[in-house]
Amino acid sequence: MVSDAQMEFRALRGTEDVFGAAIQEWTLVEARARQVAHRFGYTEVRTPLIEEAQLFSRSVGDTTDIVQKEMYVFADRGGRSIALRPEGTASLVRAYVEHELFKTEGLVKWFSIGPMFRAERPQAGRRRQFHQLGVEAIGATHPLLDAELMALAMTLLQACEITNTRLCLNNVGCRQDRERSSAALRQQLTSHRAELCKDCQARLTRNVFRTLDCKRESCRRLVQRLHVTLTRCAECEQHHQAVLAALRAIGIACEEDATMVRGLDYYTKTVFELRHAVLGAQDALGAGGRYDNLVQDLGGPARGASGFALGLERLLLVRQTLRGKPAAASQEWNRHRHVAVLALDDATQQEAFCVVQQLRHAGIAATMDFAGRSLKAQLRSANKTGAPLAVLFGAQERAQGTVTLKIMTDGTQVEVPRAEVVRAIQARVGPS
Ligand code: HAM
């Protein structure tokens, strides 16, 4: 262990190292996410972690908190303004437009797993580097697609043994509706200007919608008191009703939340959040919605699109709270049941090393000790990690051209010729 005084480097605030039992939870959740996404017809995509900063100001919105306060932006060596991606939707739409998939694909159904970066104040469930599972369907305006995405999100949460998620839903209308709603809201809030926080006072003129997701309690209370309602044209209302009917038809309960607008500018029509009581103040496990103008805003043709993202740290937090701490790492590691190859003296180490390699080539998990520990200590570790077999190399074996196989479960030992060792082990344990 290094003492505090010596420790020069630590992970940055709001970032973390994942290992041991935690990494197994991560890989399990990611595997289930991939399984469920594939079942719904979504394929995986990976996009760069860095993008032109403008991509996000144009899509997420240059007056949003994400872009104004939270985005990590830096000038690269060529003086270009680069952002660490704060979210994934803009990148996926950029990729869709860049590769002109609208020419060849009717509907692109993509999912992506990876880190996002936001310079927020770290707290439980809020990190500066966090991970999202993002799911996006680009190329259709149908309301059933919104319901499919919500069904996917709920199925995935169930697959991760997360129960009691609340699905909250709204429809913020099309762009014209949003303009009408903004004008009405501006009028309503202007007479209460003094009660708004400084940011919201600025938002009144720049982007009044953003006052609806202000995190300050006083602004939230004011919005509640004023009974703000959003305008919806007939088509958007019809879309909303169709989404509600589809959810009912497949048995997914949802709650309508008439003032939910979400903190990103690209949304049109459907918006939703998946909330969980376990998370307390940061109760959104995930969120999403429709963004019918974004493809066009980023230089593509008019194509509808819809999607959502789950926060994986939050998902894991809820999973752990509901299920208890995951099993210890070493027990999980046992599943591979590594054969332990034990060199009993320096002279046999290289030979043991060769056998470890041969076993691995034969598809058998095998490990050896590199610390020069005693036979007793090595056997103790082999036991602890659940090794089915130990292979002992010592002076006596070397002299006889054999090795000793020790069956760990009952302690019995057999001598096998050196040349037969892989076959003998294969016969006992089979491939890992
Ligand atoms: P978002 O609401 O900004 O939406 O983020 C989605 C989820 O990411 C949140 O519900 C939360 O679980 C997680 N999350 C966000 N910020 C943090 C943080 N600092 N620490 C930990 N977890 C966090 C989006 O990003 C949209 N791109 C979602 C979307 C996809 N809409 C359409 N398609």
- The number of the ligand 1 atom at minimal distance from the alpha carbon of 118 is 19
Distance 51 CA to ligand 1 centre (A): 18
The verdict on the CB of residue 285 being under 6 Å from ligand 1 is yes
230, amino acid identity:
L
- The number of the ligand 1 atom at minimal distance from the alpha carbon of 284 is 10
Distance 288 CA to ligand 1 centre (A): 8
202 within a domain of the structure (yes/no): no
CA angle, corner 397, sides to 394 and 400, nearest 5? Answer: 150
- The number of the ligand 1 atom at minimal distance from the alpha carbon of 290 is 32
186 within a domain of the structure (yes/no): no
Mutate to test the pocket of ligand 1, among 130, 156, 257 (most ligand atoms within 8 A of CB): 130
Same domain, residue pair 360 and 239: no
Assign 153 a pLDDT band (cuts: 50, 70, 90): very high
Q: What is the mean pLDDT of the chain?
A: 93
The total number of structural domains that make up the chain:
2
The stretches of 42-174 forming alpha helices (DSSP H) are 53-56, 65, 89-98, 101-104, 143-159
Same domain, residue pair 252 and 349: no
Same domain, residue pair 36 and 168: yes
30 within a domain of the structure (yes/no): yes
Same domain, residue pair 362 and 407: yes
Distance 305 CA to ligand 1 centre (A): 17
The verdict on the CB of residue 61 being under 6 Å from ligand 1 is no
CA angle, corner 227, sides to 221 and 229, nearest 5? Answer: 125
Q: Which residues pair with 74 in a beta bridge?
A: 82
Last residue of one domain, picked from the residues 267, 289, 323: 323
pLDDT at position 210 = 86
**Whether the predicted pLDDT of 331 surpasses 60:** no
199 within a domain of the structure (yes/no): no
The verdict on the CB of residue 292 being under 6 Å from ligand 1 is no
Domain that holds residue 71: 7-173+232-323
279 within a domain of the structure (yes/no): yes
pLDDT at position 3 = 60
Same domain, residue pair 270 and 419: no
Assign 330 a pLDDT band (cuts: 50, 70, 90): very low
Mutate to test the pocket of ligand 1, among 264, 285, 310, 316 (most ligand atoms within 8 A of CB): 264
Same domain, residue pair 249 and 389: no
211 within a domain of the structure (yes/no): no
Assign 431 a pLDDT band (cuts: 50, 70, 90): low
The verdict on the CB of residue 86 being under 6 Å from ligand 1 is no
Here the CATH number for the domain that contains residue 386 is 3.40.50.800
Last residue of one domain, picked from the residues 261, 288, 323: 323
The verdict on the CB of residue 111 being under 6 Å from ligand 1 is no
pTM: 0.92
Same domain, residue pair 365 and 310: no
Kindly report, residue by residue over 16-70, the tens digit of the pLDDT.
999 999 999 999 999 999 999 999 999 999 999 999 999 999 999 998 999 999 9
Give the number of residues written for the chain.
432
Mean pLDDT computed over 134-158? 98
Same domain, residue pair 165 and 42: yes
Give, using CA atoms, the residue closest to atom 12 of ligand 1. Answer: 311
Mean pLDDT computed over 280-286? 89
Q: How far, in Å, CA of 410 to CA of 312, rounded? A: 43
Q: Name the strands in the sheet holding 305-311, side by side, starting at the edge strand that comes first in the sequence.
A: 43-44, 108-117, 129-138, 305-311, 284-290, 270-275, 166-171, 255-256
245 within a domain of the structure (yes/no): yes
Least confident of 94-103, 237-246, 287-296, 342-351: 342-351
Same domain, residue pair 311 and 350: no
The verdict on the CB of residue 246 being under 6 Å from ligand 1 is no
Here the CATH number for the domain that contains residue 105 is 3.30.930.10
Give, using CA atoms, the residue closest to atom 18 of ligand 1. Answer: 126
Give, using CA atoms, the residue closest to atom 4 of ligand 1. Answer: 287
The verdict on the CB of residue 89 being under 6 Å from ligand 1 is yes
- Percentage of the chain modeled with pLDDT above 90: 78
pLDDT at position 152 = 98
Least confident of 120-129, 192-201, 333-342: 333-342
Same domain, residue pair 343 and 399: yes
pLDDT at position 432 = 61
Last residue of one domain, picked from the residues 263, 288, 323: 323
Same domain, residue pair 40 and 112: yes
Same domain, residue pair 49 and 169: yes
361 within a domain of the structure (yes/no): yes
Kindly report, residue by residue over 389-429, the tens digit of the pLDDT.
999 998 899 899 999 999 998 999 999 999 999 999 999 88
